[in-house]
């Protein structure tokens, strides 16, 4: 935009304001006052008598409300007045200083309007790109989405070895016998048949394997000590576990869904590729599964173990079987700095989705993150275990902390400072909007090859209640500079200084794929939009050329599906400030 154009637009913008504040003394006209005589008697209402096209004609043509029509008329009036004043002063009515003030005023208004127009164009482009990739990112049907398979009874599954045990549940691998290839795999494994769920003998356990499993599903059996034995009571008590459940997951519980929803159950989380999906959820009698008498005898019902404290019925969740947890993966593999950056980015994408849905996980740790590998060996991360989550429709992410009996979540080591230092009181509220992002910053140390400073022992051990940012250990020099800055920024003690998960994810997206944009000294929105359009075209082409998109293409598609102009600009400014710092 040339200086001449900016000046002309600025003069137009300022005209009505100058008319209002430089009018000669006399009757006051305007809203609620005496009408001004003459053809301008309708000024301020979006009308003008006579057939001639007035300043509000274009606004009326565009269908703008009256308040916007008034603004546009005011702008036009001020521009005309400024032009007349400038001509008079330029002819000798004022000195150079007065002429310079008029020029600067007009030029400033013109540049402001152009900046606003540029922002509107960028926001519109981001919305269009977002709409396209939101459709592209729809998840494929799950393995139990077929109408031929019900899967709401434990007897319908073949159960294999134990693959995990936590503080509230045990997880077993499983498969569906109706699929021929699964039957063949089960028979070759020495499947034992009998009453109840079919069980294979528990063999030697392995840390993890990248090979496809004969058991594509995992069944999570909750331990029921206090929920009673009715389906309604179990679903109500364990409602947090149902947050990532699919739409049809509970449809086999015959009336329990209606009861659960009527009691104001937890929110239902929309699908996301970086968050676990529960395909089926049902209640059933507790069976004696492999290793139960050794691993968790105390939570079994008395009919299975004389000293057991558990009820005879509990909740079962059916999910996809992932090869390993993030902790197991990092024991066996050392990702490159770029790959580690993409892994951190995946966690931020998952956390951002939770925040947008008004949900806080509150128990993020490497044991609660699952990993699978694509054809190239790149890890894809999935957040799981929602037993401690905050997913209340009434309060969202603002938890009233009235007493110490209020549950603040699990995993005290990775509890954000604003949560761990909170003191209960009648007006105390804990804001969880950035708590999970803080936990991602701590987990990033593990992903980049160091010990988690909030787990370590001795001098290296930090506590979220009392640590200072200066005590955070430095990440290796091999880690990209932008990622190092971001991790420290995520671990800021004050939540107000901490970037949101969306802004943090955008920082890594720009760092990974927008280097030439960030290199520009004068980054304009139009240039950013041009780069986004290039990324959109390249990502769509890459997605069509391959049958199964690689991790990098998936991440770009997620970025474009969550595109927000304001959050992207914040990320770009944050990156440029870090790079400009000495």
Q: Exactly one of 198, 352, 363, 392 is catalytic; which is it?
A: 363
On whether residue 333 sits in a domain, the answer given is yes
User: Of 321, 341, 375, which one is at a domain's C-terminal end?
Assistant: 321
- pLDDT at res. 350: 96
* 295 annotated active-site: no
- pLDDT at res. 136: 73
On whether residue 274 sits in a domain, the answer given is yes
Say if residues 397 and 432 touch (Cβ distance below 8 Å).
yes
Pair (429, 351) in one structural domain: yes
Q: What is the CATH number of the domain that holds 431?
A: 1.10.510.10
Over its length of 582 residues, how does the chain's per-residue pLDDT go in tens digits? 555 555 565 555 555 445 544 554 544 444 444 444 443 333 333 444 444 444 445 444 444 455 445 555 555 555 556 556 655 655 555 555 555 555 555 555 555 555 666 667 777 888 888 888 887 776 666 666 654 567 888 998 999 999 988 889 999 999 987 544 443 333 333 333 333 455 544 443 444 444 556 899 999 999 999 888 888 889 888 989 999 998 788 877 655 555 455 555 668 898 999 999 999 999 999 999 988 999 999 999 999 999 999 999 999 999 999 999 999 999 999 999 999 999 999 999 999 999 999 999 999 999 999 999 988 889 999 999 999 999 988 899 999 999 999 999 988 899 999 999 999 999 999 999 999 999 999 999 999 999 999 997 766 789 999 999 999 999 999 999 999 999 999 999 999 999 999 999 999 999 999 887 777 767 777 888 888 888 888 888 887 776 666 888 889 989 999 888 888 889 988 998 898 876
Name the CA dihedral angle for 430, 431, 435, 438, rounded to a multiple of 10 degrees: -110
Which residue is listed with tokens 């520009």?
Answer: 520
Pair (354, 309) in one structural domain: no
Strand ranges (E), 401-475: 429-431
- pLDDT at res. 515: 81
Pair (335, 476) in one structural domain: yes
On whether residue 144 sits in a domain, the answer given is no
Pair (212, 352) in one structural domain: no
- pLDDT at res. 443: 97
The C-alpha atoms of residue 521 and residue 455 are separated, in whole angstroms, by 41
Which residue is listed with tokens 């007045």?
Answer: 81
> Phi first, then psi: what are they for 210, rounded to 5°?
-85, -5
Q: Which value, in Å, is the radius of gyration of the alpha carbons in the chain?
A: 31
Instruction: Write the CA distances from 178 to 145, 182, 313, 319, 377, integer angstroms.
Output: 14, 8, 26, 17, 30
Pair (316, 332) in one structural domain: no
Which of 244, 487, 509 is closest to 384 using CA atoms? 244
Which of 134, 174, 126, 178 is closest to 154 using CA atoms? 174
User: Of 321, 350, 368, which one is at a domain's C-terminal end?
Assistant: 321
Pair (475, 563) in one structural domain: yes
The C-alpha atoms of residue 355 and residue 433 are separated, in whole angstroms, by 6
Q: What is the CATH number of the domain that holds 244?
A: 3.30.200.20
Pair (266, 394) in one structural domain: no
User: Of 255, 289, 321, which one is at a domain's C-terminal end?
Assistant: 321
On whether residue 560 sits in a domain, the answer given is yes
- pLDDT at res. 342: 95
Pair (556, 438) in one structural domain: yes
On whether residue 336 sits in a domain, the answer given is yes
For residue 509, give its domain range. 326-582
On whether residue 368 sits in a domain, the answer given is yes
Say if residues 247 and 139 touch (Cβ distance below 8 Å).
no
Beta bridge mates, 316: 221, 282
Pair (349, 412) in one structural domain: yes
The C-alpha atoms of residue 41 and residue 221 are separated, in whole angstroms, by 77
Pair (226, 254) in one structural domain: yes
Strand ranges (E), 128-251: 158-165, 169-175, 198-199, 217-222
Pair (424, 480) in one structural domain: yes
On whether residue 377 sits in a domain, the answer given is yes
On whether residue 145 sits in a domain, the answer given is no
Pair (445, 511) in one structural domain: yes
Strand ranges (E), 419-571: 429-431
The C-alpha atoms of residue 462 and residue 404 are separated, in whole angstroms, by 23
Specify the number of domains making up the chain: 3
Residue 141 burial (C-beta neighbours within 10 Å; 0-12, 13-18, 19+): exposed
Specify the pairing of strand 158-165 against strand 198-199: parallel
Which of 223, 233, 244, 239 is closest to 314 using CA atoms? 223
The C-alpha atoms of residue 138 and residue 128 are separated, in whole angstroms, by 17
């Amino acid at each position: 935009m040339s200086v001449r154009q900016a000046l002309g637009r600025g003069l137009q913008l300022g005209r009505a304001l100058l008319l209002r504040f430089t009018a000669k003394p006399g009757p006051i006209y305007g809203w609620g006052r005496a009408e001004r005589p003459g053809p301008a008697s309708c000024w301020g209402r979006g009308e003008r008598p006579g057939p001639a096209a007035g300043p509000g004609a274009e606004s009326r043509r565009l269908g703008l409300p009256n308040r916007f029509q008034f603004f546009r008329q005011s702008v036009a009036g001020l521009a005309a007045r400024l032009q007349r004043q400038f001509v008079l002063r330029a002819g000798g009515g004022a000195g150079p200083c007065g002429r310079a003030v008029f020029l600067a005023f007009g030029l400033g208004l013109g540049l402001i309007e152009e900046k606003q127009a540029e922002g509107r164009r960028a926001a519109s482009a981001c919305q269009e790109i977002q709409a396209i990739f939101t459709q592209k990112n729809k998840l494929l049907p799950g393995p139990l989405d077929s109408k031929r398979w019900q899967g709401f009874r434990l007897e319908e599954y073949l159960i294999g070895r134990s693959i995990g045990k936590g503080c509230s549940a045990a997880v077993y691998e499983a498969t569906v016998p109706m699929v021929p290839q699964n039957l063949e795999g089960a028979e070759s494994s020495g499947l034992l048949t009998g009453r109840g769920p079919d069980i294979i003998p528990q063999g030697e356990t392995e840390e993890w394997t990248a090979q496809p499993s004969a058991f594509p599903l995992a069944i999570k059996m909750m331990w029921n000590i206090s929920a009673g034995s009715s389906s309604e009571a179990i679903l109500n008590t364990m409602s947090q576990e149902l947050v990532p459940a699919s739409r049809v997951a509970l449809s086999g519980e015959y009336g329990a869904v209606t009861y659960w929803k009527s009691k104001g159950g937890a929110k239902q989380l929309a699908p996301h590729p970086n968050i676990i999906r529960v395909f089926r959820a049902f209640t059933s009698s507790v069976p004696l599964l492999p290793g139960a008498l050794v691993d968790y005898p105390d939570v079994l019902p008395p009919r299975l173990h004389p000293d057991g404290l558990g009820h005879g019925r509990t909740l079962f969740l059916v999910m996809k079987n992932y090869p390993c947890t993030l902790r197991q993966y990092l024991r066996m593999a050392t990702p490159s700095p770029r790959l580690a950056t993409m892994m951190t980015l995946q966690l931020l994408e998952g956390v951002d989705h939770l925040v947008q849905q008004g949900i806080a996980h509150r128990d993020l740790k490497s044991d609660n993150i699952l990993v699978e590998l694509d054809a190239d060996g790149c890890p894809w991360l999935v957040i799981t275990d929602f037993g401690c989550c905050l997913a209340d429709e009434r309060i969202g992410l603002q938890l009233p902390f009235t007493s110490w009996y209020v549950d603040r979540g699990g995993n005290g080591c990775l509890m954000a400072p604003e949560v761990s230092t909170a003191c209960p009181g009648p007006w105390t509220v804990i804001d969880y909007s950035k708590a999970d992002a803080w936990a991602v910053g701590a987990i990033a140390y593990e992903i980049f090859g160091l010990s988690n400073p909030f787990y370590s022992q001795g001098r290296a051990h930090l506590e979220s209640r009392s640590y200072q940012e200066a005590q955070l250990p430095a990440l290796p020099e091999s880690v990209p500079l932008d990622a190092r800055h971001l991790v420290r920024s995520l671990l800021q003690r004050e939540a107000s200084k901490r970037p949101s998960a969306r802004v943090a994810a955008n920082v890594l997206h720009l760092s990974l794929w927008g280097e030439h944009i960030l290199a520009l000294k004068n980054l304009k929105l139009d240039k950013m939009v041009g780069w986004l359009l290039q990324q959109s075209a390249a990502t769509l082409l890459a997605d069509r050329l391959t049958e199964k998109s690689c991790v990098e293409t998936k991440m770009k598609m997620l970025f474009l599906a969550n595109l927000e102009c304001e959050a992207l600009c914040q990320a770009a400014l944050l990156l440029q400030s870090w790079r400009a710092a000495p």
